[in-house]
Amino acid sequence: MRSEGQVRFITISSRVQKAAAASALLVVVVWAVSLAIAGWAQYSASADRMSLLSREAKVATSEERLAAYGDNLEAVSEDLDRRMEFIEGVAELLPENMKVDTAISDSTGEAAATVEKVSAAFPQAAELARIEARQLAIVEGLTRYADWRSARAAEALKKLQLNPDAVIRRSESQAMGGPLEGLSTSANGEIDPRFERLGLSMARMSALESALDGVPQLSPAAGGVTSKFGYRRDPFNRRAAMHNGIDFRGAIGSPIYAAAKGRVSFVGWKGGYGKTVEITHGNGLMTRYAHLSRFDAKVGDRVAAGEKIAGMGSTGRSTGSHLHFEVRINGRPVNPRTFLETAPNVLEEIRRAPELAHASH
């Protein structure tokens, strides 16, 4: 280093140089691995979508279906029965006033062509061909409806600061099979991609809407809020401290309610929290109810939103009767008011989905 006409030298030992080089190499490797993982995840998702689109492009042609009718009419009839059982199973997941157009649309052109060719070649099978065409029209309508509801649910989850993509990934990782198993709906004995597409759309809709049901949405106590989420002065040592929940006032024994449906995962004493109940709601969501005087639920119970789970108290590190309520996402505390104030309006919009869908058609 040159300074005021003088030159000074700093010598770095080979050990220090090697350590620095190793650290730099480690940073590069970690960065490359992270980039590779992200790239592979994106590629896999894209590959899955392309695979499905490719299969959808290979649905049975009218000629193939005509051959199936000619080869074994009884087998075709059995296929249609299985298709109808699948459609009826899907319909049970939808509102009763949901109406689907059974008219053969332009996008079911192959089905229309099949009806025409089968009717000409095998008049006795014309009605079966028309049933098949109507089934495909129903599948098309149900798929559009499921995708519409999925989009609404995903948008609602985003408003509540939850990740819908993570919900879908977790649902897929926990999948244990479904109604598509054993369903043959094409000439070569494979599952018709249009039915598979419906199954995937329904699974996505179910996962997203189930996640919404587990969102804290009801006040766990009737009393008002006495202490907010965030930093405050600790009531014992008077120093600044992080308050990971909100407190509700009330008399000892006042009922405490589940803020959302879920499974009771903890009942007992938890350090400064005193008597505590914890409920897991899926997708990393957990609610905690502390300083209780009694328990009205036990571990393993499935509870509904608004169900009584405990009584208010002052156990643990407490200066008086109140409920300490927390919401945690993957173990990280978040402000419960975000859910309690936003979720009711968001969920009301979602529950009106069937009504809005009917009005839009």
The DSSP bridge partners found for residue 332 are: 329
In this predicted structure, the answer to whether residue 251 has a pLDDT above a threshold of 80 is yes
Q: What is the pLDDT of residue 338?
A: 83
The pLDDT value recorded for residue 25 is 57
**Helix, coil or strand: residue 350:** helix
Query: 232: which strand partners?
Result: 241
Least confident of 70-74, 106-110, 207-211: 106-110
232 confidence band (pLDDT: 50, 70, 90):
low
Let me know if 222 is exposed, middle or buried by CB neighbors in 10 A (0-12, 13-18, 19+). Answer: middle
**Degrees to nearest 5, angle at CA 201 with 198 and 204:** 150
CA distance 214 to 261: 5
Between 7 and 84, the higher pLDDT residue = 84
**pLDDT tens digits, 259-278:** 999 999 999 999 999 999 99
pTM of the model: 0.63
**CA dist., res. 154 & res. 291, Å (int):** 35
Angle at which helix 336-351 crosses helix 126-159, to 10 degrees, equals 160
Instruction: Report the C-alpha gap between 310 and 334 in whole angstroms.
Output: 22
Take residue 48 and report the two structure tokens written for it: 């899955």
CA distance 39 to 20: 29
Q: What is the pLDDT of residue 68?
A: 64
